[in-house]
Amino acid sequence: MYDTVLSAFAPVNVFGQRWALVAEISHAEAFSGINRWRMLVVLIAVVIVAVIIVIGYLVANTIAKPVIGLTGRAEKIAAGDWASPLNIYKENRKRPFQGKDLIRQDELGRLAVSFERMREAICDKMTQIEKQNEELKQLDEFKNDLLANTTHELKTPLNGIIGLTESLLGQIPEHFNKTLYNIIYSGRRLSNLVNDILDAAKLRQEEIQIRPQSLNLRQIVDLDISSSSTLLGGKDVVLVNQVPKNLCVKADQHRLQQIFQNLVGNAIKFTNQGQISISARIVEADLVEVSVTDTGIGIQQEDQQRIFKAFEQSESAANRSYEGTGLGLAITQQLVKLHSGRIWVESEPGRGSSFLFTLPVSHEKPRNLELTLPKAVEFSPVEISPQMIQGKDRDFTILAVDDEQINLDIIANHLQGSPCHILEACSGAEAVGCVQNQKPDLILLDVMMPEMDGYQVCNQLREQYSCYDLPIVFLTARNQLRDLVKGFNAGANDYLTKPFFKNELLARVKIQIELLINRSRITKLWQFANNIGQYKSHEEMVLATCDMLRKDPLIEETVQFFEGERVDKKNSPCSKEIDDYPSELEKQPEVIISHDQRVAMFVKMSRQYAIGACFAKSSAEDWMRSLVIQANKNMEQVRRITADPDNAMIQSHVIPSLDSTLYIKVEKNYCMLFKQINGSVKEETLRIAFKQILFHTEKDQLFQIHRSYAVNPSKIESVSSKEQLVFLKNEESIPTAKKYLAQLKKEYPHLVKGA
């Protein structure tokens, strides 16, 4: 009936014939069962999806609700509500005596407990911080009060120092004038600093009240230029007043002068040549814009806002080139604000700076002005006292490095009575140059210097000299722990902060000098112990010991005794202390006798010989004892050496004739000594081991160039490293070995030639 059917067929063999078996069924009949099950499955699926949605909603609501609650509580905490607790507990009705139970016992419940503990901890910390803040505020107020009171109290003695010093001018010898002017200058600098600190404290506490009045701005600038011109100090800088004649502003006269004093002084400090101009113009009906423009070094962009903060400068490192506390611009900004104005800077590094500020215009007639700014002190033309650079020779040389001449004068005055010659350097580069030209015994080094600070100088010197070879003591106003650590890491031997007392400086210098002496003593003692071959008798050893003691800077006099009698009878200031041989020395090896500030020490070296020394109370006592102990050891070795026939032969025959010796050659079990006598070469046979001869001679007497040859260096004409030959002055040549060529070239580079 033309219905859609499903058909299937298969081949069938019937009695040898191939048939096809075909089966057909209509499409509707074939899928009737499947259609019934499809509706059932769809219905079940819809029910399952609905159940899943319901379950998911319930689960999500169960999880999200407490999380949303925690989120809301966190937002309240972020807003500053720390006190409200989180509702995480419920009453235990079954066991009321056991207190409260958690609302939830799962992970969210534990999260809520942790969150509540965090809130409580934060609440406690915030309470503690608020309490500490209140304490800090009280301490800050106390600091401000203390600072203000202290600076007020400082003004009286400062004025006394300045006044009394000025009163001495003209009443004492003229060569003291420079010292007096330095005192006055330092006192006024300190007075200005005290005034700045007072103003900063008053501005912070809003205690400064201004008294505005009508002022002629050009007259104010003229007054400031006349008072600031002394600060130029010979600089090629011109101060120019470009303010219109009839321009008036409404301001406090004293505070306006202070503003100009800070800005113009700051411009002079950072300008080496060119000009500093002050100009003004009306920018609005009731507002004047004032500009202080210089041709100085300029300010970096990132520093232009920072410089208006208290105690800040564009350079804050130890090698900053300009002095100052960093209070001037901060005070200026506050004073401008008190006049209802604002201040800013326009600058480009290398092209100068312009400080601009605004003031209210005045249409009233100005009052007559009087100069109230303090005059800058002028230095006396008196030269430096000559006794520090002339006079008797000094035992030690000290290099003082500081960019302030006053500090160098203070160091020179403090060390004037010491046995030290003072060299001065005003910069790090100059100090390095002084060390290269004349190595001092000690350096007193400032840290804060222009271009090259003390740390950089110390690091550069330590590349060539160790802390034992060249001691360095930092003298600086920096007293923080990090500065101290940085100084010692740079290689300093000591660190002394300014201001320092004279006795403290002398004590530090004395320690470094004595350490330097002791290091030199150790070197001499080592050389003394290794050069015993040159001494032929106990008498020579005693004479050498006395000679070393005489050369020691801390020992004033040394004498030698033979069988209780003094060998030399010269008169000296110390003779009375060590003139007589003490009888106690017969029973004990050492006797020490004190004489006021001096010590006399006697040491017995053998049955016949003893030495005595006189010195101040210092470490010379240990040095003498150590030297005598080593001398006694050397004397024993001298006895052993002189007792050996071969050694005696070397000391009595070989060494005295080395000047005429050309070279020594090894021949099996003996040596051949070749001498040049009256123009001819003579041979001499020595039954002494080659190594033994070399052991008792110095390199400048015999220099080994081969396992079988040693040559007199003074007889060498030239050395050919290519041919491996040593040419002597008598036209003889001696072979040399490669392993000796490097040492030969090092000792005598002018003789070696060839590849």
Compute the distance between CA of residue 404 and CA of residue 441 in angstroms, rounded to an integer. 22
Contact 598, 615 (CB under 8 A): yes
Task: Reply yes or no on whether the pLDDT at 256 is more than 50.
Answer: yes
Q: Which residues pair with 711 in a beta bridge?
A: 663, 703
Q: Which residues contact 572 (CB under 8 A, 6 or more apart)?
A: 557
Q: Which residue has the tokens 């392993």?
A: 739
- Name the E strands within 255-315: 273-284, 287-294
Most confident region among 113-122, 261-270, 568-577 by mean pLDDT: 261-270
Compute the distance between CA of residue 57 and CA of residue 69 in angstroms, rounded to an integer. 17
Q: What is the dihedral of CA 23, 26, 30, 32, to 10 degrees?
A: -160
Q: Which domains does the chain have, with CATH numbers?
A: 1-30 (no CATH), 209-360 (3.30.565.10), 399-521 (3.40.50.2300), 534-643 (3.30.450.30), 655-753 (2.40.50.1020)
What is the three-state SS of 461-507?
HHCCCCCCCCCEEEEECCCCHHHHHHHHHHCCCEEEECCCCHHHHHH
pLDDT value of residue 385: 32
Compute the distance between CA of residue 24 and CA of residue 312 in angstroms, rounded to an integer. 104
User: HSE on the CB side for 540, CA within 13 Å?
Assistant: 12
The more confident residue out of 395 and 4 is: 4
Compute the distance between CA of residue 605 and CA of residue 639 in angstroms, rounded to an integer. 14
User: At 473, is the pLDDT very low, low, confident or very high (cuts 50, 70, 90)?
Assistant: very high
User: At 618, is the pLDDT very low, low, confident or very high (cuts 50, 70, 90)?
Assistant: low
Residue type, 361: V
Task: Reply yes or no on whether the pLDDT at 289 is more than 90.
Answer: yes
User: At 156, is the pLDDT very low, low, confident or very high (cuts 50, 70, 90)?
Assistant: low
Please measure the distance between the N-terminal and C-terminal CA atoms of the chain and give it in whole angstroms. Answer: 121
Q: Which residue has the tokens 């072979």?
A: 735
Compute the distance between CA of residue 467 and CA of residue 512 in angstroms, rounded to an integer. 11
Contact 213, 249 (CB under 8 A): no
User: At 293, is the pLDDT very low, low, confident or very high (cuts 50, 70, 90)?
Assistant: very high
Q: Which residues contact 709 (CB under 8 A, 6 or more apart)?
A: 663, 664, 665, 666, 734, 735, 736
pLDDT value of residue 375: 42
Mean pLDDT over 74-89 rounds to: 68
CA distances from 610 to 36, 326, 543, 565 (A): 136, 67, 11, 9
Q: What is the dihedral of CA 7, 13, 18, 23, to 10 degrees?
A: -10
Task: Reply yes or no on whether the pLDDT at 99 is more than 70.
Answer: no
Select from 669, 667, 745 the least CA-distant residue to 703: 745
- With vertex at residue 529, the alpha carbon angle to CA 526 and CA 535, rounded to the nearest 5 degrees, is 140
Q: Which residues pair with 706 in a beta bridge?
A: 709
User: At 24, is the pLDDT very low, low, confident or very high (cuts 50, 70, 90)?
Assistant: confident
Whether pTM > 0.75 for this model: the answer is no
Q: How confident is the model over 510-541, as pLDDT tens digits? A: 888 888 888 888 888 787 777 776 776 777 78
Mean pLDDT over 293-317 rounds to: 71
- Angle (deg, nearest 10), helices 405-414 and 177-204: 120
Provide Rg for the chain, Cα atoms: 48
Task: Reply yes or no on whether the pLDDT at 318 is more than 50.
Answer: no
Give Cα 260 distance to the centre of its chain. 36
User: At 97, is the pLDDT very low, low, confident or very high (cuts 50, 70, 90)?
Assistant: very low
User: At 400, is the pLDDT very low, low, confident or very high (cuts 50, 70, 90)?
Assistant: very high
Q: Provide the greatest CA pair distance for the chain.
A: 164
pLDDT value of residue 87: 63
Mean pLDDT over 118-125 rounds to: 81
Q: How confident is the model over 433-470, as pLDDT tens digits? A: 999 888 898 999 988 888 888 899 999 999 988 888 89
Task: Reply yes or no on whether the pLDDT at 506 is more than 90.
Answer: no
What is the three-state SS of 300-368?
CHHHCCHHHCCCCCCCCCCCCCCCCCCCHHHHHHHHHHHCCCCEEEEECCCCCEEEEEEEEECCCCCCC
Select from 203, 219, 341 the least CA-distant residue to 284: 341
Task: Reply yes or no on whether the pLDDT at 118 is more than 70.
Answer: yes
Look at phi and psi of residue 212 and say left if phi exceeds 0, alpha if psi is from -120 to 50, else beta: beta
Report residue 752 as tokens: 């070696």
pLDDT value of residue 49: 93
Q: What is the dihedral of CA 8, 13, 19, 20, to 10 degrees?
A: 0
DSSP of 424-462: EESSHHHHHHHHHHS--SEEEE-S--SSS-HHHHHHHHH
Q: Which residue has the tokens 């009240």?
A: 209
User: At 472, is the pLDDT very low, low, confident or very high (cuts 50, 70, 90)?
Assistant: very high
- Mean pLDDT computed over every residue of the chain: 78
Pairing of strands 17-26, 100-102: unpaired
User: At 656, is the pLDDT very low, low, confident or very high (cuts 50, 70, 90)?
Assistant: confident
Compute the distance between CA of residue 283 and CA of residue 634 in angstroms, rounded to an integer. 94
